[in-house]
Amino acid sequence: MNIAIDKRLAELTEADRRLLLERRPTGEDDLRDAVRALIAEVRREGDAALLRMARDFDGIELDALEVPRAAWDDALASLDPDTRVQLERAARNIEHFHRAQIPADIEVETEPGVRLGRRALPLPAVGVYAPGGRAAYPSSVLMGVVPARAAGVPEIVVCSPPGPSGAPPAEVLAACAIGGATRLFALGGAGAVAALAYGTASVPRVEAIVGPGNQWVTEAKRQVAGELRIDSPAGPSEVLVVAAPSADPERVAQELLAQAEHDPEAAVAAVTRDRALLDRIREATARQLATAPRREVAEEAFARRGAFLLAESHEEALAFAEAYAAEHLSLMTDDPRADLETQTTAGTVFLGGASSVAFGDYMTGANHVLPTSGRSRSFSGLSVLEFLRFHTWQELSADAAAALEEGTARLATAEGLPAHAAAARGAGGTPANGPRVR
């Protein structure tokens, strides 16, 4: 088994630290230009460009871009019953957790008679991207659609790449029905993002685009971000395991392999202060990898961005985790609740060996759409807030207006805005000419 970095933290070179901490995709400049061209094609040619992209990139001749609702219903009816039960269970948990995130409207009085409020309102339409290609991801459908529905969004449009049938996989169609999507399009990559951002004859324009995807999807979301809201840029999956000497090396290896099988660009790392444990983790990982169904993908991930790291102390391991800013941080430590207080940069933190990242990927109700590449230092994971907008209201009594008029007029005059001063005095009861009317 080839590992990109296998050494002490104290021995990391500057190149090692860049590989571990920056985790940037290769060929970004070329990708940026290619995505810009694809977006321009969709804006210029609309559906014709999308149909051409399906042929060129997916190898599919589409008769129509939209997948009819009857196809969702058929997919749901034919879905394995046990799989349906678990998808419905996951949807319930996601809705439960995300409904709890909806902020209450507020109303405060800042001075006597000056009442201010803020209201949360759902966006009118959102787009949810569900990746395809190497695997079907109905869980990603639920992670985008269910929170949007919980927020009260009336139009929830899903885009997912077409499979050989011309539609996304049946599991994705079934998840759209379970989650409560309103429309589904067999669209993938940068073209799907452009269609959602600008609209075409078939695809409606939306006010936000969320969901994970490959480099093309992430770059397209970044380029349209000035036109509408996007969630955090999400690239290949990541996990960092901080392991105390008491940690089970088999469990650590399982967590690493679970994320490595996602993508050859996945970043997987373990750090511990115990050399003997690190040796056992290395051995367990090699043994599990040898029989893994997605061995080739995982092996490439370990060779590109895998790391087994030895810390001088538990504190050094935690400090590295804070610097690493992982998408998924697993604390297999003696007191994970206490260690959680030292971590502020991870996308989501899993406390203890029983708290597998896999549970968060599917079943717990927390969202698995999370910032990667260290972006959790400034971005948050997908939440119900991505589907809400807020506005404020202000109401002043006549007495409050009279009390504020001179102070407001003084500030407006200082800024050279006499009409502001006049408006304040007029609202406070002082007419443009003449004595104040009370």
Q: Which residues contact 104 (CB under 8 A, 6 or more apart)?
A: none
- Measure the CA–CA gap between 139 and 124, rounded to whole angstroms: 23
Catalytic residue from among 327, 368, 386, 405: 327
- Measure the CA–CA gap between 150 and 145, rounded to whole angstroms: 9
41 catalytic, yes or no?
no
Q: Which of 214, 161, 183, 157 is nearest to 50 (CA)?
A: 161
Structure tokens at 130: 């569900």
420 catalytic, yes or no?
no
Structure tokens at 206: 């939306």
Catalytic residue from among 98, 262, 314, 328: 328
φ and ψ of 152, to 5 deg: 95, 15
Amino acid sitting at position 43: R
**Adjacency order of strands within the sheet including 106-111:** 106-111, 114-122, 388-396
Q: Which residues contact 345 (CB under 8 A, 6 or more apart)?
A: 322, 323, 324, 325, 374, 376, 377
Taking each helix axis as running N to C, give the angle between helix 189-198 and helix 215-224, from 0 to 180 degrees, rounded to the nearest 10: 20
- Measure the CA–CA gap between 349 and 360, rounded to whole angstroms: 10
Residues annotated catalytic, as ranges = 327-328
